[in-house]
Structure 1
Amino acid sequence: MTITPPALSVFESLESEVRSYCRGWPAVFDRAQGARITDEDGHSYLDFFAGAGSLNYGHNNPVLKRALLDYIERDGITHGLDMATTAKRAFLETFQNVILRPRDLPYKVMFPGPTGTNAVEAALKLARKVKGRESIVSFTNAFHGMSLGSLAVTGNAFKRAGAGIPLVHGTPMPFDNYLDGRVPDFLWFERLLEDQGSGLNKPAAVIVETVQGEGGINVARPEWLRALADLCRRRDMLLIVDDIQMGCGRTGAFFSFEEAGIVPDIVTLSKSISGYGLPMSLCLFKGELDVWEPGEHNGTFRGNNPAFVTATAALEAYWADGGQMEKHTLARGEQIEQALLALCTEHSRLGASYRGRGLVWGLEFADPARASEVCARAFELGLLLETSGPKSEVVKLLPSLTITHEELDEGLRSLARAVAATV
């Protein structure tokens, strides 16, 4: 594919230098459908990015689009703060009947604002309010958002530095396998908790991702998550699972923690909860934790009714059928795993390794710079990929859950060509 980078334009002359994705993908995108996105010159790209996980059901999913258009055409409420609306009622009833009740999850639902970091901020604030403590424990290589509270429990030094002020009341602990299995799980954490001289303030909560997406596709073992849940229970700390990128079916089950058989005290959801890429987030928590005063945590855009509409349509279309979406995702995940195994075997001298769950996978190279080279070559071949990890050393595969076997195979073949081109 021959791609002509956009000429000096309004993006470069007017938009802030903070822009990032457009630098790696020098095209002006115009249309998208399903697993493909097209630029204004007509070049088509297979999308293994899916809006950073916000488009689990693909671009402009026709079922969700129809529901949204019908709602807009009948002059349904668009902006509603936290007012009661028919769209919100339909979402809450569907979420309860399709997601919460079948899993016996005892959660209240809070709409904290439009983005994932809004949900994390609400979770941290609630945990501190309930326990009367300030400290929150997070994990190495964690990513929880870009606002100050979320940054305080994020590991990436570059992102933390952008805060411009000290990030306090957060303490990092080693994520699963951070010490290469040489130290028993939670040995350091337990010792700090029990030692009156450790200097660790007793935490209100622990926040964790079951799979660290931005951190490099680091997958926590189910037994590690179960042990963490037990530790929190024994030490009177709330367990917060950040399911913003890995929830809504990304790892197979609707919630990524289901495989471990745990029930977190608080769960944050965003990204694909609306199903259509519309801003929406949820903070879920056990009923006894609902100690908020009316209006104590609010936000102008916490009632995005068009997002409620598409979220309801997504739940009805993909999660009310007894697990077909989960089976589909796991089957596509096996397809990726086999392709990555073959790729790493073929290019063993690159020191490549892979890891993942469901439809989130990472391909890491001994030379960290190679991951960016692979993504750049993949773009030239018509495939959108991003990097992750503290050194951008991991090629991240995040296709839509609705991608077909043929589309996935096409993208994996392009990935293999991109790797071969960098050898």
Structure 2
Amino acid sequence: MVSTHAITTPAADTRSTWNRMRHWAIAHAVDDFYQGLVPASIPFFVLERHYSYVAASGLALAATLGSSLPQPILGVIADRWRLPWLAPAGLALAGIGAGAAGLAPTYPLVWILLLLSGIGVAAFHPAAGRDARQAAGASAGAMSWFAAGGSVGFFLAPALATPALDAFGVGATAIFLPPAVLMGFVLWRHQQRSTRSNAAAPVATGRDRWLPFAILTLVEVVRSTVFFGVNTFIALYWINHLGASRALGGAALTAFLVGGVAGTLSGGRLADRFGMVRTIQIGSLAVIPALIALRAAPDPHWGLALASLAGFTANIPFAVLVKLGQDYLPSRPGTAAGVTLGLAVSAGGLFVPILGAIADAHGPQAALTALCVAPVAAVALAMFLPEPRGSVV
């Protein structure tokens, strides 16, 4: 079935890239703030409530299960029905679940709240990715603003949450509940206006290419495994292996995510100039020496620059994978976005418990060592990606 809600773009939209993408970039930042809040809070659950590394990894697993398992169904729903309330409602649920988790008195209740937060993320990404692509048109650079919004959210989570959690304890996650409700309302109003103005916009056509899309999905799973793995263990590596303070451990995570924002924006520009497949291959290869350098960091202060470099290289392919996935499935932009932004990204988090078991046995430094090897698979898979067949706008 070819959707009547495939990728669209206004025929004469002369607004700047930022004006076209700002609502989606900001909404993505707020939504993914709560995904970033989970790894930012995990060290405090470990240190304050004495959870084991495996138990801590289980919290990351709860969030990723919620955001990964519903994605295929929600992507199909977003392609069949517009449902302008789906992305705003998902954003609000993501924030409510993650914000309330720190107040929960027992591990099972914390786990359930993070699962609900993940379900909110799952509801946001397919519809948001579909409509952001409509606003971005053919430009990977424009789409990178939307993708970078998610990276900004991940960056802001440790930057804002670490001082609050350090000062007031893990219950301070509740401070971050209001932005989700407020931005959900703002996005809902924006969706109402956009639905009216784009009612007569042209739709994309083209044959869906499932095999290249499947390969691209595997590349994104590997990339997200690296990203989630470093997110989860870099602060613990700084604290327990390099002997840094909690604040400096949070700074290492922040440096990694700041580099990720720059990498996402740079990847979109590289793709517009050199092609999407080549950009994915470059980013997949470049992250390997960056991770090795991070693992070999001799000092927690000098290592901050290496953390930023690792984040930069890990995120070069991010926005490009999202746009290329929609080009491979031109009649199913919601499904493509749900998989590349949601399912594949979240599936990477499913490997975190394996890294947690390695860290329990040999320390967080061993988990980072394992992550140095993972991108080799992405490099090999990216060699089989074809360029898309023309524009889909």
Fold in common (TM above 0.5)? no
Larger radius of gyration: 1
The structure whose residues are more often helix, as a share, is 2
TM-score range, shorter chain: under 0.3
The structure whose residues are more often strand, as a share, is 1
TM-score under structure 2 normalisation?
A: 0.28
Q: Relative contact order (C-alpha < 8 Å, sep 6+): which is higher? A: 2
